[in-house]
Amino acid sequence: MATKETSKQLILGVYDNPDKVYSTTKKLIKGGYKIEDVYSPFAIHGLDRVMGIKRSRLSIAAFLFAMTGLSLAVTFQVYVSYIDWQMNIGGKPSLHIPTYIPITFELSILFTAFGMVTCFFIVNKLFWGKNADIMDPRVTDDLFIIAVDVKASKADMGALNQKLIDGGAIEVRERIKEL
């Protein structure tokens, strides 16, 4: 069993324009570099596809949570108003599916929203009070950073610097990321 790595060596290319980040990332990946991640102040459309990020399964999670909410709501309402204690209010039936629809709908939505967002926090390891491991404080302002994983890249690392600069980087630096 290989010993687990405790840190990763990254080369960071700092950019000020998302278009340059997009095209540089594309070129680097074609050239065999392993992109650890790209950090940006907003979502760059299409970049996730270029980086080969698989479509998130959070939508499946959302569906499962919706179904959980739905079945719990139906079960509970049927149990309460039909099985546990029937009430005669104006002679109306105790087991009356159409009147269960609004609450079932609301609970499905409630479960979906909370379940999915909780999963989102878990897969991204986001939690209250977490110390952010940011590449640069300006990455949430106006800078974009391409982080290349040095070890995992199967390409010439000597040329990387030049490639990042040719792509329009305003700065290139090295960083060790603790895992």
Nearer to other proteins, 137 or 158 (CB): 137
Nearest-approach distance from CB 84 to other proteins, in angstroms: 6
Nearer to other proteins, 142 or 156 (CB): 142
Residue 90: which residues within 8 A CB-CB, separation 6 or more? Answer: none
Nearer to other proteins, 37 or 149 (CB): 37
Nearer to other proteins, 19 or 156 (CB): 19
Nearest alpha-carbon partner for 62 in 104, 121, 113:
113
How far, in Å, are 41, 69, 80, 116, 124 from residue 120 at the CA level?
19, 18, 33, 6, 6
Nearest-approach distance from CB 1 to other proteins, in angstroms: 27
Nearest-approach distance from CB 143 to other proteins, in angstroms: 8
CB–CB of 135/145 below 8 Å?
Answer: yes
CB–CB of 73/108 below 8 Å?
Answer: yes
Nearer to other proteins, 1 or 54 (CB): 54
If one counts every other C-beta atom within 10 angstroms of the C-beta of residue 135, the result is 20
If one counts every other C-beta atom within 10 angstroms of the C-beta of residue 16, the result is 14
Nearest-approach distance from CB 170 to other proteins, in angstroms: 8
Nearest-approach distance from CB 151 to other proteins, in angstroms: 19
